Chain A
Amino acid sequence: DAKTTQPPSMDCAEGRAANLPCNHSTISGNEYVYWYRQIHSQGPQYIIHGLKNNETNEMASLIITEDRKSSTLILPHATLRDTAVYYCIVRVASGNTPLVFGKGTRLSVIA
């Protein structure tokens, strides 16, 4: 079962930052936080991942609290194409442990 808790849905105005929260209070020291998204019924798409430091790439930023019990995915300037279900997943980095998807957050970007 998923080890994370996310709000079921959020709205964001186009052009504004979308901040998607995730709680993972039982995270272990060797577990990473991954974010994926699924646009309509397409295959999930990797966004970003991190262990304890904040991370940024061309798609988003990931802010992880110091105690690692929660994180926030930030889409700095949301567009209509960012409307999707966003999944926060906790996973051990080593080996072949599969990703386990929860229900995620349905983000609607509104014009």
Chain B
Amino acid sequence: EPEVTQTPSHQVTQMGQEVILRCVPISNHLYFYWYRQILGQKVEFLVSFYNNEISEKSEIFDDQFSVERPDGSNFTLKIRSTKLEDSAMYFCASRTQRGGNEKLFFGSGTQLSVL
């Protein structure tokens, strides 16, 4: 089965630093998502992206966050100035366009630790 690939699997950074989390969605997929999961808590929606623009975003996705699809294959999440509370597992997901009913494929995640 095709996979969503995320790199790196672990990222450690200092508070205030910028980080970029990378994802390669499945090749024929058109909708892209970022979710995060703080240790022991629920999986939370951050942002959805379609046709080179943000479709929807949650309250968590503030001005410190941005997403980009720079080259037609990668999908990135940038955190401009990391805070301690940004420490979490970040999941990328993608799906095809058909009917809005297609299943979502998730990557294995990037564990971000902000020190």
Contact = CB atoms under 8 A, between A and B. Distances in A.
B65 interface: no
Contacts of A32: 101
Interface string A67-110: 00000000000000000000100001111111111110000000
Given A101-B43, A102-B42, A43 B93 contact: yes
B44 interface: yes
A38 B101 contact: no
B101 A98 contact: no
B50 A96 contact: yes
Interface in B25-40: 31, 33, 35, 37
A49 B42 contact: no
B23 to A, nearest CB: 11
Interface residues on A, range: 20 to 34
Q: Say what secondary structure dominates the interface of chain B.
A: strand
Interface stretch (B14-22, B69-77, B103-111): B103-111
A22 to B, nearest CB: 16
Contacts of B48: 96, 98
Contacts of A102: 42
Contacts of A36: 104
Contact of A41 (B50, B56, B109): B109
Interface in B64-115: 89, 91, 93, 99-101, 103-109, 111
B109 A94 contact: no
B43 A38 contact: yes
Given A44-B91, A94-B100, A101 B109 contact: no
A98 B42 contact: no
Chain A CB within 10 A, most for which of B37, B42, B107? B42
Given A101-B43, A101-B44, A96 B106 contact: no
Closest CB pairs A-B (n = 9): A43-B106, A46-B103, A101-B43, A93-B101, A98-B45, A94-B100, A96-B55, A43-B91, A44-B106
